[in-house]
Amino acid sequence: MRTDGNFVRELCDLPLAEDIPIASNSVRNGMRSLNWRADKPSTLYWAETQDGGDAKVEVSPRDIVYTQPAEPQEGEEPEILHKLDLRYGGISWCDDSLALVYESWYKTRRTRTWVISPGSKDVSPRILFDRSSEDVYSDPGSPMLRRTSTGNYVIAKLRKENDDATYLLLNGNGATPEGDIPFLDLFDINTGSKERIWESDKEKYYESVVALLSDQKEGDIHINDLKILTSKESKTENTQYYIQSWPDKKLCQITDFPHPYPQLASLQKDMIRYERKDGVQLTATLYLPPGYDPSKDGPLPCLVWSYPGEFKSKDAAGQVRGSPNEFAGIGPTSALLWLARRFAILSGPTIPIIGEGDEEANDRYVEQLVASAEAAVEEVIRRGVAHPNKIAVGGHSYGAFMTANLLAHAPHLFCCGIARSGAYNRTLTPFGFQNEDRTLWEATNTYVEMSPFMSANRIKKPILLIHGEEDNNAGTLTMQSDRFFNALKGHGALCRLVILPFESHGYSARESIMHVLWETDRWLQKHCVSNTSEVSADIGKSKDGEGKEVTDIENKAVAASGGGGAELSDDIESGQFHSKPRSLM
């Protein structure tokens, strides 16, 4: 349709996509990912599958990327831009001489980046990067984009004085065993050579490149005219923004945001490393209240808040993600709020579920989940910061699923749990969940063994269930908490169900957020801070559900008044973001 309202042509007429095969990387038939080229006016591009959309079909190529003017000449057919053997994942455009095409395959975690010349058919495509998406240490970064006069964004090209080479700017997280050290590399697209022109302060601060500001002119950017927007923060200093200009790399601070919660300005934060019994290296962030001294104050009540993740190798699972120098941001219902209640907070301890080779990760889900939790609990007790009988566990979404499973299969570790917006019966998500490809009928035992609903009779520790009344996430419908609560109540567990009116998978209303905080604090004060039962008599050995029941049995089942695909892979509420790598390279 033109701006004057006149119809130009119909690109495609697709039926409802209701027959997409059940497997990761399966897609719909026909044209998909239809977009405008960012570097050209009125030019379209899209992808079409060659495997019928079924990821289980072996075929080469698997996807073909096409391009065509919006108003082609009579008889002009779409042009084949590139053929891919993995699944198409997008394009970063530059000009007729350069574009980057991404493809990936979840089953193997393989990801590739191709260099193509869209306007030169005689230039053969070549692979720029071929790597594992879960190997964060090898991530080369993403190309920085500049804004054009039309408001689109294309890959920025840089040049040097008396140098004919074509350079890109690669902006990366810089994951290392010591934590993330973001960087900016000047990358020769033809030779692959790199020059590091900027790197974060690795001692005290966490800095990152936010945007490229040298986009006022069309064409290549001279290195001496480079200007970038960066952010800078520390454990206790709020994020501030700066403009950095070349060639002298002079910094100009442009913000002065005050500390958002000065009462916790001197909180203690430490990224800790420890080992699971099978040798897998684990990482967590330990937060302690301001002024706390373990030698003087003794062990504290502790809240462990996490979210499991799947990996294909032990090495990838053991890699460090995040930085010890990042500012301790606290969201509306973040676990870090309980620092004000003098809790120790173990945030985001690595809970890797590993399936190496042909093994599926979830076939040993419970075993690996318990081993990871045992290692985390042993570490905070060893450090003397957590009281063995006052360690609570919690999580949101898949983290809630984790919480229920730990109370069922590792009751010797925790005194109580908080589970928000979770799914507890995997037979109610029979066509896969999270990163599980197999259906209920293909992996019946796995679905049953992973479901804490099936182990409701083993849960004896107090558990608080919170759920939005109108959860729109297909993997965590509200009925999951309702059914689980009734199963727990029927077996005499001390449990409470809170339904938040009008809320979805996350919680938005002030009333809901305040109520979640009140319910959680009340639960922790009663069942964690005041707990006197023996919880961790023998952490090194699993009790297989045989734990002492909570001494307070007067209120074994309490219901709250009011209200009536797979889980999200990022836990917004806890501040732990499990996003995809910065690039698909």
How do 110-116 and 126-132 pair as beta strands? Answer: antiparallel
d(CA 411, CA 265): 35
Residues 410 and 423 in one domain: yes
Residue 554 lies in a domain: no
Residue 26 lies in a domain: yes
Residues 40 and 97 in one domain: yes
Residues 500 and 379 in one domain: yes
d(CA 189, CA 313): 31
From 133, 397, 421, 455, the catalytic residue: 397
Residues 33 and 107 in one domain: yes
Residues 494 and 414 in one domain: yes
Residue 584 lies in a domain: no
Residue that has been written with the tokens 């998500």 in this structure: 429
d(CA 332, CA 512): 10
Helix (H) or strand (E) run with residue 114 in it: strand 110-116
d(CA 239, CA 270): 18
Judge contact between 114 and 126, C-beta under 8 A.
yes
Give yes or no: 222 in active site: no
Query: 487, 503, 529: which is the final residue of a domain?
Result: 529
Calculate the CA 10 to chain-centre distance: 38
Question: In this predicted structure, what is the pLDDT of residue 531?
Answer: 84
Residues 383 and 506 in one domain: yes
Strands (DSSP E) along 173-247, which ranges? 183-188, 194-199, 206-212, 221-222, 227-233, 240-245
- Tokens representing 563? 């209200």
Judge contact between 391 and 534, C-beta under 8 A.
no
Residue 275 lies in a domain: yes
- Orientation angle between helical segments 365-382 and 398-409, nearest 10 degrees: 80
d(CA 72, CA 363): 53
DSSP 40: S
Question: In this predicted structure, what is the pLDDT of residue 414?
Answer: 98
d(CA 580, CA 449): 28
In CATH, what number is assigned to the domain containing residue 506? 3.40.50.1820
Residue 181 lies in a domain: yes
Residue 542 lies in a domain: no
Residues 431 and 325 in one domain: yes
From 412, 505, 515, 527, the catalytic residue: 505
Residues 243 and 274 in one domain: no
Residues 362 and 380 in one domain: yes
| Of 457, 436, 206, 246, nearest in space to 327 by CA | 206
Look up the domain containing 234 and give its range.
135-258
Residue 582 lies in a domain: no
pLDDT tens digits for 351-393? 999 998 878 999 999 999 999 999 999 999 999 999 999 999 9
Residues 120 and 167 in one domain: no
Query: 258, 287, 311: which is the final residue of a domain?
Result: 258
Number of structural domains in the chain: 3
**Rounded to 5, what percent of the chain is helix, strand, coil?**
20, 30, 50
Each residue's pLDDT expressed in tens, for the chain with a length of 585 residues: 566 777 878 888 888 988 898 888 999 999 999 999 999 988 999 999 999 999 999 999 999 999 999 888 888 899 999 999 999 999 999 999 999 999 999 999 999 999 999 998 889 999 999 999 999 999 999 999 999 888 899 999 999 988 889 999 999 999 999 999 999 999 999 999 999 999 999 899 999 999 999 866 778 999 999 999 999 999 999 999 999 999 999 999 999 999 999 999 999 999 999 999 999 999 999 999 999 999 999 999 999 999 999 999 999 999 999 999 999 999 999 999 999 999 999 999 999 999 988 789 999 999 999 999 999 999 999 999 999 999 999 999 999 999 999 999 999 999 999 999 999 999 999 999 998 989 999 999 999 999 999 999 999 999 999 999 999 999 999 999 999 999 999 999 999 999 999 999 999 999 999 999 999 999 999 999 998 876 654 554 444 444 333 333 333 333 333 333 446 534 444 333 333 333 333
Judge contact between 367 and 353, C-beta under 8 A.
no
Judge contact between 376 and 311, C-beta under 8 A.
no
d(CA 314, CA 361): 11
Question: In this predicted structure, what is the pLDDT of residue 547?
Answer: 39
- Tokens representing 316? 């990838």
Residue that has been written with the tokens 């300005």 in this structure: 265
Residue 563 lies in a domain: no
Helix (H, G, I), strand (E, B) or coil at 340: helix
Residues 69 and 152 in one domain: no
Question: In this predicted structure, what is the pLDDT of residue 308?
Answer: 96
Query: 93, 110, 133: which is the final residue of a domain?
Result: 133
Residues 457 and 378 in one domain: yes
d(CA 499, CA 467): 5
d(CA 45, CA 569): 29
- Tokens representing 23? 């497997």
From 471, 481, 512, 571, the catalytic residue: 471
Judge contact between 145 and 212, C-beta under 8 A.
yes
Judge contact between 277 and 371, C-beta under 8 A.
yes
**Bridge-partner residues for 167, per DSSP?**
158, 188
Helix (H, G, I), strand (E, B) or coil at 450: helix
Q: Is 316 left (phi over 0), alpha (psi -120 to 50) or beta?
A: alpha
d(CA 202, CA 185): 16
Judge contact between 247 and 198, C-beta under 8 A.
no
Give yes or no: 104 in active site: no
CB-based burial, 360-384: b 16+ in 10 Å, e otherwise? bbbbbbbebbbbbbbbbbbbbbebe
DSSP states of 397-416 as a string? Answer: THHHHHHHHHHHH-TTT-SE
DSSP 390: E
d(CA 466, CA 503): 11
d(CA 263, CA 257): 16
Give yes or no: 471 in active site: yes
Question: In this predicted structure, what is the pLDDT of residue 573?
Answer: 40
